């Protein structure tokens, strides 16, 4: 019995690196599309989750530019490598209980190996820019949150907000092209973007959202602008 246990442990320890090394990069690039909605491959370009650039050899929960790590991940002591990333992608919750990543894991060994092979290449410091899943999802960004966000300092007049009024359950947004559009209050979201691609101070942007054309997000340079911009007016 003890001998059998030792054999199993040795098999597992040797299996994980070979799994990571045997993947197909091209297939892994396609698989990354599912990750691109939350993770960027660009250094310090954080989204819902942290940037994956330079991931190998980094201690979990330590990217200085990302502020939303769970306490569980920050205290895990994990160092990201072939083995630990394979375990994480298999079942994040089992590896680090109470982590904040809404991902159930990839149970298929082949799909996981392909993704690991791609990530190991694409996250390597100095790696050449690739046509990754993020770029492929660019056209779907309004629906799925993926792709590279547009530079909100360089948008057309139809997306440049000039005024927002609120009456009863309705917001009315007037843009720089002179048009005013009404939104049910639950269909308009207010966000901020302090990155280099965010809007100029005092010049919020409105971006379409959803599939029905009835929803949108107004994005401000900072939170204090929101209250100053919206006027109650019936």
Residue ending a domain, among 112, 141, 170, is 141
Same domain (yes/no): 137, 164: no
Half-sphere exposure of 17 (CA within 13 A, CB side): 5
pLDDT at 10: 44
- Among 78, 113, 141, the domain boundary falls at 141
Name the token pair of 89. 């992608």
113 and 25, same structural domain? yes
Structure confidence at residue 20 (pLDDT)? 52
Please indicate, yes or no, if residue 150 is contained in any of the structural domains: no
Task: Look up the CATH number of the domain holding residue 82.
Answer: 1.10.760.10
Is 32 inside a domain boundary?
yes
pLDDT at 148: 58
The answer to whether residues 223 and 194 belong to one domain is yes
Residues 20 and 123 placed together within one structural domain of the fold: yes
Instruction: From residue 85, give the alpha-carbon distance in Å to each of 88, 128, 190, 193, 234.
Output: 5, 22, 35, 30, 55
DSSP letters, 98-133, are T-S--------HHHHHHHHHHHHHHTSTTPPP---H
pLDDT in tens, the chain (234 residues): 444 444 444 444 444 454 556 799 999 999 999 999 889 999 988 888 999 999 999 999 999 999 889 999 999 999 999 999 999 999 999 999 999 998 999 999 999 999 999 999 999 987 755 544 444 444 434 333 444 578 999 999 999 999 999 999 999 999 999 999 999 999 999 999 998 899 999 999 999 987 777 899 999 999 999 999 999 998
Q: Output the pTM of the full model.
A: 0.66
Please tell me whether residues 9 and 111 are part of one structural domain.
yes
Q: E strands, 57-178, where? A: 161-167, 170-175
Residue 147 lies in a domain: no
**CA–CA distance, 30 with 26 (Å, rounded to integer):** 7
Per the structure, the complete domain to which residue 187 belongs is given by: 157-232
- 140 contact partners, CB below 8 Å, separation of at least 6: 146, 147
| Amino acid 37: pLDDT | 87
Same domain, 24 and 133: yes
């Amino acid at each position: 019995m003890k001998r059998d246990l030792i054999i199993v442990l040795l098999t597992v320890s040797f299996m994980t690196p070979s799994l990571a090394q045997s993947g197909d990069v091209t297939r892994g690039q396609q698989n990354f599309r599912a990750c691109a909605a939350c993770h960027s491959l660009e250094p310090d370009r954080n989204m819902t989750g942290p940037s994956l650039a330079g991931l190998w050899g980094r201690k979990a929960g330590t990217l200085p530019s990302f502020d939303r790590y769970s306490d569980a991940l920050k205290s895990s002591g994990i160092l990201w490598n072939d083995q630990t990333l394979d375990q994480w992608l298999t079942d994040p919750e089992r590896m680090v209980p109470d982590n904040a990543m809404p991902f159930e894991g990839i149970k298929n060994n082949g799909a996981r190996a392909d993704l690991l092979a791609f990530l190991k290449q694409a996250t390597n410091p100095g790696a050449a820019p690739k046509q990754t899943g993020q770029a492929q999802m660019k056209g779907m960004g309004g629906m799925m949150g993926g792709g590279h966000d547009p530079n909100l300092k360089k948008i057309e007049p139809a997306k440049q907000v000039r005024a927002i009024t609120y009456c009863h359950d309705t917001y009315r947004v007037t843009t720089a092209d002179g048009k005013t559009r009404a939104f049910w209050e639950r269909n308009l979201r207010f966000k901020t973007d302090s990155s280099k691609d965010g809007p100029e101070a005092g010049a919020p942007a409105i971006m379409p959202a959803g599939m029905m054309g009835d929803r949108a997000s107004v994005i401000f340079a900072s939170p204090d602008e929101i209250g100053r911009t919206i006027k109650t007016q019936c």
